Structure 1
Amino acid sequence: MHAVKDLGRWLLTGSLVAVCALQAGPAFATRGHGTSDGDVKTSSDRSGKTLESRITFSGSTGTSGTGSGNVTPVGNWTPPACWYEPESAADFRKHVEGEYDDIVNDPRQPSYAKSATGQFRDMYKDGKYKDYNLDKADEGNFWVSVQNPNRLDDPAAFTCSELPFWVENGDTPPVKNAVTPQVLAELAYNRLTLPDTKVTLAPQNVTKVNLPTWAWLDKATFKEVSVTAALDVAGLNISATTTAKPVSLKLEPGTADAETFPASGECQLNDDDSIGAPFAKGKAHETPPCGIKYLRSSGKGTYQLRATITWDVNWTGSGGAGGDLPDGTFGTTQDVTVQEIQSVNR
């Protein structure tokens, strides 16, 4: 029985087929990750036989311009690398039988790959479940593990190692990371696309030694972003929206020969959701609420000023669920030229 379980896990993750199936596609139960455009297929799409993740994403998931990117969690927390989704008995049967036919009828497949596929199929066709539980199709669904294709090299992606299993309607799947509103919220976290953090400077990009340089971000650029993840399949209809709100800007001058304002380098969000304050005529000798003073020339080169936004992240989900997720950050760099102040002797 252990051998069969291990065999099923290989099939489930696609490792066995990837190694021994030559030019065949991934194993039937390996699923891809949904996108903002809807379902995304795995690398094999043979007449719909390969299972897909049915989670869809909408909102701030696409590219919002040069320099934009995904939020990075603060600390060691990461969204799930794998999870479990439901599949109807009819769809599960179609995928298993389709993959079985492909492999056993492919002369390129070694005998052990065909045997492994046959053993897995027998478990659901003639074994524990008897013809894929089609006679109980209205009473429940199979739950199948899904891997995030962007983390296939991550050992955590292999922790959802249970074989596809049956769950009666209304029962809670007895596994960690079965899809819930919170799991969807955590997956949506990974899809948050944040705007470029390039700050406005005065003087702009070229400043002088010992001259306070003002830095600010406009409130129209830095506002809340959100992504909604939804799953509507096999009688299960759940969703969650993950929202990130900017709360502070951290400035790192790119050299130790500099001072930041405030001294911590952390510029907090203003009441109007802007950060810092625009420079205005007559403020040249004032201390900026957010900015930098370089103490040494950059010579023939430039300093790499890094601006990182910290985002407060929370979520709300179907059924009134909701809560906080770890803060996230996203930052980019920009070149700053620092020149010596030229004096004229008369």
Structure 2
Amino acid sequence: MLARALATILATAALVMVGSSSPAAAAGGENCWYETDPNTGEVKLVCEDETTDPGTDPTGDGSSTCTYAGNEIPCTGPEGSVWSSKYKCWVGARGPDDMVPPPGQTAEDGWWHVCYFPPPGSSWEYMWIETGEVGIDPVVLAQRAIASMDLDPISIGIVPESGANRAGLVGLPVWMWVDRPTDDTFGPITASASEGSVSVSATASVSSIVWDMGDGNRVTCTGKGTPYADHFGKQASSTCGHRYAKMSSDQPDGAYQVTATSHWVVEWTGGGQSGTIEFDLTTDPLPIRIGEAQVLTQ
């Protein structure tokens, strides 16, 4: 599967900080080419990178994204370069051997590498990269660790129960909870991923669950909730509950469609860095029918 990684590079003389042509052009990379925007006249370097490892993305679709200035960008840039959170660029090929280290540095301390910078003001230049810091970005390994956890939405526990012959009553308490929680539905769960000398460990936990009750109301619960038991009677849940104000007869199929969205927080560390990744997982809708008590008079 081909995942297209777009890196906008202005192909002008002012763009080239060192050298007379871009590394992509000099190397004649067959997976990179220049395109001219017909509206702005801007020349863009477009690279196509073959990606087959589904473990690089928590969603498992075979792609990976990193974050820069609050925006998602490809973790892989031109000519197979790799995004570096530390240097804020895609770190690519090593520069020529006849380049001179900066004052106070030697070839053992590091070397000049091509750095492609993201928009705005896209450009590339040679940047001094310390030894051992050329390689995969730890964020990518954190995403791989998350993917290996195989996380799932929760299993909904709710009273009144869902079913054609089940119904609750207007005004009575509704109880919601995480049914049979496991490491991969609620956490905490820890996994690691490594490549070369870089290793990352990540721990994921659900911080909250937003229950969409289907009647226009959402209830946020910070824990697993309390499973209902008969001895609770008509008490309201002390941890996660709701009350419906009207019957569900006017809803599609005569039922409110309840979903639960778990908010996952992943703390990761490794490769000299640490960070937090957050995302949501939502259940399929569960139909809950609500009726009204009938009072008989004579």
TM-score range, shorter chain: 0.5 to 0.7
**For 1:336, which of 288, 293, 296 is the aligned residue?**
288
Q: Report the CA distance between 1:215 and its aligned residue.
A: 1.0
Counterpart residue number, 1:202: 159
Counterpart residue number, 1:238: 198
Counterpart residue number, 1:170: 131
Q: Distance in 2 between matches of 1:343 and 1:299?
A: 18
Which amino acid letter does the alignment assign opposite residue 339 of structure 1?
A: G
Q: Report the CA distance between 1:276 and its aligned residue.
A: 0.9
Which amino acid letter does the alignment assign opposite residue 291 of structure 1?
A: G
Unaligned runs of 5+ in 2: 1-10, 38-44, 62-66, 76-82, 85-89, 99-106
Judged with a 3 Å threshold, the aligned counterparts in structure 2 of structure 1 residues 223 and 159 are, in CA distance, closer, same or farther, namely same
Higher relative contact order (CA 8 A, sep 6+): 1
Please give the secondary structure, in 1, of the residue aligned with 2:267: strand
State whether structure 2 residue 236 is matched by structure 1 residue 287: yes
Q: Report the CA distance between 1:287 and its aligned residue.
A: 0.9
Q: Is the 8 A contact 1:249 1:307 kept in 2?
A: yes
Counterpart residue number, 2:8: none
Q: Report the CA distance between 1:81 and its aligned residue.
A: 3.6
Q: Is the 8 A contact 1:79 1:190 kept in 2?
A: no
Higher helix share: 1
Counterpart residue number, 1:312: 265
Listed one character per residue, the Cα deviations across residues 134-184 of structure 1 (whole Å, up to 9, x for unaligned) are xx9xx85855759xxxxxxxxxx65694448575662867xxxx8543x43
Higher strand share: 2
Q: Name the TM-score, length of structure 2 as normaliser.
A: 0.57
State whether structure 2 residue 140 is matched by structure 1 residue 184: yes
Mapping of 1:1-346 within 5 angstroms?
A: 2-3=12-13, 5=15, 8=22, 14=32, 16=34, 30-33=48-51, 35-36=53-54, 57=56, 62=60, 77=70, 80-82=73-75, 83=83, 129=96, 142-143=113-114, 158=119, 161-163=122-124, 165=126, 170=131, 179-181=136-138, 183-184=139-140, 187-188=143-144, 194-205=151-162, 206-217=167-178, 218-220=180-182, 221-225=185-189, 228-232=192-196, 237-256=197-216, 265-269=219-223, 275-288=224-237, 289-301=239-251, 302-318=255-271, 321-322=273-274, 324-325=275-276, 327-332=278-283, 334=285, 335-345=287-297
Q: CA RMSD in A?
A: 4.9
Judged with a 3 Å threshold, the aligned counterparts in structure 2 of structure 1 residues 164 and 30 are, in CA distance, closer, same or farther, namely farther
Q: Report the CA distance between 1:226 and its aligned residue.
A: 5.1
The size of the alignment, in residue pairs, is: 239
Q: Name the TM-score, length of structure 1 as normaliser.
A: 0.51
Unaligned runs of 5+ in 1: 20-26, 38-56, 64-72, 90-127, 147-156, 270-274
Q: Report the CA distance between 1:87 and its aligned residue.
A: 6.1
Q: Distance in 2 between matches of 1:161 and 1:214?
A: 53
Judged with a 3 Å threshold, the aligned counterparts in structure 2 of structure 1 residues 171 and 333 are, in CA distance, closer, same or farther, namely closer
Please give the secondary structure, in 2, of the residue aligned with 1:297: coil
